[in-house]
Amino acid sequence: MVPLLFLLHVFFIRLPGADSVRTFRHLTTESGESLTIPCFYDQKYKDHVKYWCKGQLWSSCTIMARTDSPQSSRKVSITDYPAQLVFHVIMRNLKTSSDTAIYWCAVEIGGLGEMDDSQDLVIEVKDARSVRTVSWVSAERGGSVTIPCYYDQKYKHHVKYWCRGSNWNSCSSLARSDSNQTAGKVSISDDPAHLVFYVIMRNLQENDSDTYWCAVEIHGPADDGVYLQLIVMEATAVSPKQGELTTALQQTESFTSATKHPTGWAVTMYPSGALTSTTNENLNTIQSSRDHTWHLLLHAAVGLVYLLCTGVAIITWRNHSKFW
């Protein structure tokens, strides 16, 4: 039975850990803008090569940047920060049609019989919108963060509000510009002269990591708005100062060190997209198709391994029986 055991060892390779590489599951930005994506990894991957891959299927994705290659592309660059256990990918001058896709934060393993480790995410590039904000912000536990929400002239006299939850239909309104603002957990202030309202969140805890919405109340049609992601992390000496705005492009040394990582990944998995957008249906279709394809490939691989193992077992048994 030695050949059978060897075959099992070769084909039943280690599947990557579910939490060894982490990032957001869905980010959005506007056409022509740049976007920084943080890819967190475990201590065991500190000295490994990291890379950025594009494609619906992990098995056939196209590598766009690697940490062991010169960073010469104007479109994509990658930088590893081993002390913070995170690498950043910057994508520039994004286009609606060509850059809306599935991407992968990946770590090269290099061992025999081991797959590279990775985490996928969807990046959605939209045309210019009436309500705009950053794609994501981070803050340290116990600190504060200020989020700017920009809007068009037509919304100058409308009520603005701040909503929490991955699903727009059930998100909870936390603050409104037409309500009295107290110095509590969340406050909102509108600046019509500059077409922006600010949301301040104070005394943040890790369970505040979630999807939030900059929203404008519309009398008649559906409200307008856009979502962003918030991560709250353990306090660290390199984190932004309390109250300091941290946009995606300002996230350089603002991540936790050691092995502690942002929590709240489960609640930031699949936000429902911008309020007036219908493209989320397409993204759901992509996700469903990808999951279905992955399951089919997995089942096919298992079936192939089973057949090969059975064949080897039969051949081994027959060869063994000839000696008796």
pLDDT in tens, 271-321: 323 333 333 334 444 444 444 445 445 555 555 655 665 565 556 555 555
Same structural domain for residues 191 and 115?
no
Distance CA 178, CA 74 (A): 44
> In the prediction, which pLDDT does 108 show?
94
126, 145, 180 - which closes a domain: 126
pTM of full prediction above 0.75? no
In a domain, 323, yes or no: no
207, 233, 259 - which closes a domain: 233
Which tokens belong to 178?
């037409």
In a domain, 136, yes or no: yes
The share of the chain scoring above pLDDT 70, in percent, equals 65
In a domain, 63, yes or no: yes
- Nearby residues of 187 by Cβ (< 8 Å), 6 or more positions away: 175, 181, 199, 200
For residue 234, name the pLDDT band (cuts at 50, 70, 90): confident
233, 254, 280 - which closes a domain: 233
For residue 74, name the pLDDT band (cuts at 50, 70, 90): confident
Mean pLDDT on 186-207:
95
In a domain, 192, yes or no: yes
In a domain, 39, yes or no: yes
Mean pLDDT on 141-151:
94
- pLDDT tens profile 76-117: 999 999 999 999 999 999 999 999 999 999 999 976 667 899
Q: Are the C-beta atoms of 133 and 141 separated by less than 8 Å?
A: no
Task: Please say if the pLDDT value at position 235 is more than 80.
Answer: no
- CATH number of the domain residue 48 falls in: 2.60.40.10
In a domain, 31, yes or no: yes
How many domains are there within the chain? Answer: 2
Same structural domain for residues 153 and 59?
no
Distance CA 102, CA 51 (A): 14
Domain residues for 61? 26-126
Q: Are the C-beta atoms of 179 and 160 separated by less than 8 Å?
A: no
